[in-house]
Amino acid sequence: MADEHDDKVARDIAPPSPGRRQFLKGVGIAGAGAAVADQLLLRPHEQAVAAEPPQTLSAATTEVTLQINNQKRKAMVEPRTTLLNAMRNHVEPPVTGPKLVCDQGTCGACTVLLDGKPVYSCLVLAVDAMNKPVTTVEGLGTPDKMNAVQAAFVEKDALMCGFCTPGFVTTISAYLKKNPNPSLDEVREACKGNFCRCGTYPKVFEAALAAAKGTGRNGARAELMNHREAAESEA
Ligand code: FES
Ligand code: FES
């Protein structure tokens, strides 16, 4: 009897033990309280932003007509699409001569001629290239009928992995039109926007000078050989 009485007293004075449902209710209220507190801590304009549902950015596309290697090429692109991206991924068949390497205007692998001038096509928007002639390495010559620079690159074996090659060939082809009789230093300067991670620079410069010589207008190759001989005698 005394035990029953003690049990009853114990039940009466013990704090009620919460059931699972009660516990979850409590957590819910606490969570809601925390959320309200968060809202109160937000400034008014932040509350407005937080209340808005997330927006989905619409990527409107537009049709552009590019003039690539004397051909009209249509593509559906976003306003932010670069000329390089449009050529490689949005025209059919794709134009893959210009290479995507850095995509940041630092390596020159994507060089094309826009209106006759070398540009990094990864830094030009496709919509800005409309109505301007674009020449890629494919437009400079074909395997059967290479231009002088392409032929010189083959002859001098001026490439290793080849990723930089279209950019160099395009840059040098444009430069030799401006200066058909360059010195080695001038060729180096003309190529300063093109990088070769394989380090084929000596062969690239040799090819450029050989191509220039191929026009029959200079003795730059002799200058290169003299330069090499001098370097070898210093070593
Ligand atoms: S990919 Fe355009 S400069 Fe490197
Ligand atoms: S040949 Fe490989 S990056 Fe120039």
Where do the domains of the chain lie? 61-140, 141-235
Dist. CA 61 → ligand 2 center (Å): 35
pLDDT in tens, the chain (235 residues): 444 444 444 444 444 444 444 444 443 444 443 333 444 444 544 544 445 544 444 568 999 999 999 999 999 999 999 999 999 999 999 999 999 999 999 999 999 999 999 999 999 999 999 999 999 999 999 999 999 999 999 999 999 999 999 999 999 999 999 999 999 999 999 999 999 999 999 999 999 999 998 744 344 444 455 455 555 665 5
Q: List Cα–Cα distances, 212 to 63, 130, 147, 178, 232, in angstroms.
A: 40, 32, 11, 11, 24
- The ligand placed nearest to the CA atom of residue 105 is 1
Answer whether 127 contacts ligand 1 (Cβ < 6 A): no
pLDDT at 1: 42
Q: Which residues contact 75 (CB under 8 A, 6 or more apart)?
A: 63, 64, 66, 86, 90, 91, 126
Answer whether 87 contacts ligand 2 (Cβ < 6 A): no
Does this chain's domain 61-140 share its CATH topology with 141-235?
A: no
Answer whether 163 contacts ligand 2 (Cβ < 6 A): yes
Q: Which residues contact 153 (CB under 8 A, 6 or more apart)?
A: 159, 165, 168, 169, 204, 207
Answer whether 107 contacts ligand 1 (Cβ < 6 A): yes
pLDDT at 219: 42
Residue from 107, 140, 139 nearest 121 by CA: 107
6 membership: H or E segment, kind and range: helix 2-13
pLDDT at 233: 60
What is the fold of 61-140?
Answer: Ubiquitin-like (UB roll) (3.10.20)
Class of domain 141-235: mainly alpha
Residue from 185, 169, 196, 180 nearest 111 by CA: 169
